Amino acid sequence: MRLAWVLLCALAVTVAAVGRDKPVRIPPPVAGPVPPPGFQPGFAGDGNYKAPKADGAVIELLDEGIEPLFPVLVNDGGGEAGTVAREDRDVFAGVEAARVTPMQKYRSHIPGWAFKIVEKPEKAGEFRFLRFAWKKLGGTGIVVQFHDPAKSWAFRYHAGNNVFGWQPSTQVNPKLPGEWEVVTRDLFKDWGEITLTGFALSPLDGTAGLFDHMMLGRSVADLDKATDTALGRTKPEKALAGAERDAHWDALLGTERAKATAAIRAFLAAAPDQVAYIGEKLGKIAVDKDALARVNKLLKELDADSFEVRDRATDELVKMGAIAQEAVKELADNAPNPEVGYRAKLVLRRMTGGAAPVGTAGRLARVVRVLERADTEDARALLDKMAQGEYGFEVAPDARAARARLKK
C-alpha cells in the first residue's frame, strides 16, 4: 500500500512537471510556458538583440527589423516544438512579419523587457493598451501570451479554440483569423497593474501563425496614429514624384528592408495616383510572352498521356530555370494527380539542387499591396496581368489573392 502511494505521488509530480514544461503533452491542466528547473535568463543569442526604447507614447514589440528577436525566443531552454522565421510576402504592415509553426515560440524574460502596465501611463516605460495583428494558417486556435515575473503566464488572448484550455485567457474572436485581423485591448482593464517581461507567440496547431504590428501604447489614439503611419494612411505633405519616387521604387524592389518599409508607406499613401507609374515600371520587367506561353504549355505536358512527352517537358522546364520556377512550385503544391506532383517536384530538385526555390516574390508582393490599396480599374487590370504570370510566376499567387479580396 505504501509503495502504491509513493508511485502515485511520483506520477502526480511527473505529470505536473511535464504539463508545465511541455504543455503540448498534457492538454487540459497546463498553464502555458513555464521555465524548466535550473532555467537561466541569459542565452547565447541575446547579444544581437536590443530591446525597443520605451521612452515614447508607443513601443513596437514586433513590427519591423524583427530577425534579431528570433534567436532570443528559445522557449526558455525547454526544447519545446516550434520555429520562427521572417515572412516577406504575407504581412499586415511594412515588409515583414513573424511566421511561427506549432507549437509556439516564447521567452519569459526577454532582455531589456520590463514594461509597466498602469492605469494612467505618464512616465517612460509605462503603457496601458495593446495592439497586434495576427493570421492563422490551418488548425483551430491561436494564442498570444504575456509574462509577468510575479504572476507568470497569466495573461492570454485567443481566437478560435483555446486548444489546450490554458487559463486565464480572453477569447477575442470565436472565429479563427483566416485573414489578417487587428486586436486592440485595454491591458489594465483586463489584468490590472502588471509588468511585461516576455511573450509567447502560440499557433498551437495547424500549419503556422503569422504575427505582426505588435505594440504597446499609452492611449488608443497613440496606437491609431502609429497604425496609420505603418499602413501608409498618413497623407503626404507633397506629391510623390520625380527623383524621390524613382528612389522609392528602387527601394520598394530592393533588399534593404528598412528602406523598403519607408518606400511602401510612401506608395501606399499615394496609391491611386501611382498606378500608371507602376504599370510603366512593371512593363520593363515583364516576362517575355513567348516564354510565358511556353512555360504554360510545358506545365500542361507534365500531364500528357505519352511518357516521352512528359519526360521531354520535365527536361525543358529545368532548362528554363528561374522564369518557370514559381509556376512549377505552385503546381507541385497543387498537383491534380501523383504523376504531375512527382514531376513538378523533380523539376524543382533539378533546378535548385535540392534547396528551397528562391525568387523575387517577396519584393514584388509589395507592389501587389500598393495596387490592391489603389483599387482602381487600371490597378485591377495590372493585378490581373500579375495573376496570369506576366511579370513572373512567383508573384502570381499573391496577385490572385489580392484580386479575390477586392471582389469580396
In the chain, where the domains are located: 34-230, 235-408
pTM above 0.85, yes or no: no
8 A C-beta contact, residue 179 and residue 96: no
Q: Which pLDDT score is estimated for 12?
A: 41
Mean pLDDT for the stretch of residues 124-133: 98
Query: What pLDDT shows up at residue 326?
Result: 75
**What is the percent of the chain with per-residue pLDDT over 90, rounded to a whole number?**
70
Answer with the residue of higher pLDDT: 144 or 286. Answer: 144
pLDDT of residue 218: 98
What is the C-alpha separation between 59 and 191, in angstroms, rounded? 19
Residue 37 has pLDDT above 60, yes or no: no
Q: What pLDDT is stored for residue 389 in this prediction?
A: 87
- The confidence score (pLDDT) of residue 36 equals 54
Among 7-11, 72-76, 146-150, whose mean pLDDT is lowest?
Answer: 7-11
Model confidence at 320, in pLDDT bands (50, 70, 90)? confident
Q: What is the pLDDT of residue 360?
A: 67
Per-residue pLDDT at 293 exceeds 90: no
At 133-178, the pLDDT tens digits run 999 999 999 999 999 999 999 999 999 999 999 999 999 999 999 9
Q: Containing H/E element for 86?
A: strand 84-87
The mean pLDDT value for 345-373 works out to 78
pLDDT-based confidence at residue 4 (cuts at 50, 70, 90): very low
**pLDDT classification of 235: cutoffs 50, 70, 90:** confident
Span 101-122, mean pLDDT? 97
Distance CA 136, CA 375 (A): 25
pLDDT for position 181? 98
Residues whose CB is less than 8 angstroms from the CB of residue 63 and which lie 6 or more positions away in sequence, other chains included? 93, 94, 212, 213, 214, 215, 230
Tens digit of each residue's pLDDT (9 = 90 or more) over 262-272: 999 999 999 99
pLDDT for the residue numbered 13: 36
Q: Are 49 and 111 in contact (CB under 8 A)?
A: yes
pLDDT band at 352 (very low <50, low <70, confident <90, very high): low
8-state DSSP, 286: P
Which three-class secondary structure state does DSSP give residue 353?
coil
List, for residues 192-228, the tens digit of each pLDDT value: 999 999 999 999 999 999 999 999 999 999 999 999 9
pLDDT at 18 > cutoff 60: no
pLDDT > 90? residue 76 = yes
CATH code that applies to domain 34-230: 2.60.120
The mean pLDDT of the chain is 87
Q: Residue 279: count other Cβ atoms within 10 Å of its Cβ.
A: 15
In terms of average pLDDT, the best of 41-50, 78-87, 115-124 is 115-124
CA terminus-to-terminus distance, the chain: 67
